[in-house]
């Protein structure tokens, strides 16, 4: 596969004003301003092949949004280089933006008072999309994203789910090589999320469009992306196949036990225990270290159990654990 995006030693540092409290502090800041530095992205490097769908995730403040903004040309890096199909996003901005699409979950590129279809037509003229191509794509997107029920309504009258579907269609109208999706399903109901995921998966496979997806909803990633990049404190802590990280934690289990009596503490080695209520406890364990049969026997020998269930650990819990420990 051709390497479409090449990022080397990318770094971004923000200067944050340090203001003292009170009027004297404000006056002092006017004459002798003080700043502290916050390293948002700290020398990361990676490549993305043409046609890849990559989940780019991290906790709040990890540096993922800053990285996406540098990749899309909104921000300049302080150090390092970005090469996207031979172009620099921030040096060749006019030429570069003609070949990318961007969707930010809380910001719309549609015209607030115009019907959706009129915003599409405006974008057709901005990007000089041939009329036949435009009409073909609009008809396809109307079906895939179920736009017909609101395509003639002003954007201000749309629900959040309707607006996001229209925004995503707008981002794909000019057939960009790369799409940056930043939290496109945030706040949406299950039905709207599923329509968007299906659309993204279809376009990625059918048109070989490269997709970079940031989200806090791990189902977005599991249903659309084959590759996962995890960033924390400005550093990449994982870059690989999504399935590999799931398989790595496949031995993790979660047992919820309801005891017949109240137990203030449970004495079991090599497990993590969390109180749910005075009778229920959650026990997380690794079957390679603590086999299920051994754990059940140990609990039954020490305590009176009323009921229990054993489940695999959810992918969201796996990612939270990675965030907390910084280890894979």
Q: Which pLDDT score, from 0 to 100, does residue 1 have?
A: 57
Kindly report the average pLDDT of the chain as a whole number.
Answer: 89
Residues 87 and 173 in one domain: yes
Tell whether the model's pLDDT for residue 31 goes beyond 80. Answer: no
Asked if residue 115 has pLDDT above 90, the reply is: yes
Average pLDDT for residues 260-285, to the nearest whole number? 90
The pLDDT score that the predictor gives to residue 38 is 87
CATH for 305: 3.30.70.250
Q: Say what the pLDDT of residue 251 is.
A: 85
* 82 and 68 share one domain: yes
- Domain assignment present for residue 26? The answer is no
Q: What is the CATH number of the domain that holds 188?
A: 3.40.50.300
162 shares a domain with 104: yes
Please report where in the chains the tokens 């995730």 appear, as a residue. 57
Q: Which domain holds residue 276?
A: 250-312
Residue 32 maps to a domain: no
What tokens were used for 73? Answer: 């040309």
Using the predicted structure, report yes or no on whether residue 316 has a pLDDT greater than 90. Answer: no
Same domain as 203, residue 96: yes
Q: Average pLDDT of 232-251?
A: 87
Helices (H), the chain: 22-31, 64-71, 93-97, 116-126, 131-144, 160-172, 190-207, 218-224, 242-248, 292-302, 315-325
The number of distinct structural domains making up the chain is 2
Distance, in Å, from the CA atom of 173 to the CA atom of 189, rounded to the nearest integer, reads 24
**Confidence at 299, pLDDT banded by 50, 70, 90:** very high
Assign residue 63 a region: left if phi > 0, alpha if psi is -120 to 50, beta otherwise?
Answer: left
Q: Is 256 found in the same domain as 129?
A: no
pLDDT digits (tens, 9 = 90+) for 58-87: 888 888 889 999 999 989 999 999 999 899
């Amino acid at each position: 596969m051709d390497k479409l995006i090449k990022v080397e030693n990318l770094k971004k540092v923000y200067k944050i004003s340090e203001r003292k409290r009170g009027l004297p502090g404000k006056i002092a800041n006017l004459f002798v301003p003080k700043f502290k530095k916050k390293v948002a992205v700290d020398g990361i490097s990676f490549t993305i092949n043409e046609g890849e769908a990559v989940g780019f995730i991290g906790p709040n403040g990890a540096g993922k949004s800053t990285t996406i903004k540098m990749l899309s040309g909104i921000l300049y890096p302080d150090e390092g280089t970005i090469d996207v199909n031979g172009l620099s996003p921030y040096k060749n901005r006019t030429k570069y933006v003609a070949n990318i699409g961007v969707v930010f979950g809380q910001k719309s590129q549609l015209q607030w008072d115009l019907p959706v279809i009129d915003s599409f037509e405006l974008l057709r003229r901005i990007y000089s999309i041939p009329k036949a191509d435009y009409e073909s794509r609009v008809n396809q997107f109307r079906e895939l994203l179920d736009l017909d029920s609101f395509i003639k309504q002003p954007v201000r009258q749309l629900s959040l789910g309707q607006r996001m579907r229209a925004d995503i269609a707008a981002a794909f109208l000019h057939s960009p090589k790369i799409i940056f999706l930043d939290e496109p399903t945030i706040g949406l109901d299950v039905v709207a999320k599923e329509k968007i995921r299906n659309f993204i998966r279809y376009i990625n496979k059918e048109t070989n469009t490269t997709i970079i997806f940031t989200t806090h909803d791990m189902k977005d990633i599991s249903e659309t992306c084959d590759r996962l990049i995890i960033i924390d404190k400005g550093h990449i802590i994982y870059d690989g196949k999504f399935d590999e990280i799931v398989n790595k934690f496949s031995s993790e289990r979660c047992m919820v036990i309801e005891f017949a009596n109240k137990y203030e503490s449970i004495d079991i080695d090599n497990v993590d225990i969390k109180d749910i209520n005075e009778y229920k406890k959650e026990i997380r364990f690794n079957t390679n270290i603590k086999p299920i049969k051994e754990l059940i026997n140990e609990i039954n020998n020490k305590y009176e159990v009323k009921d229990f269930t054993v489940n695999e650990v959810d992918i969201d819990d796996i990612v939270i654990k990675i965030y907390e420990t910084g280890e894979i």
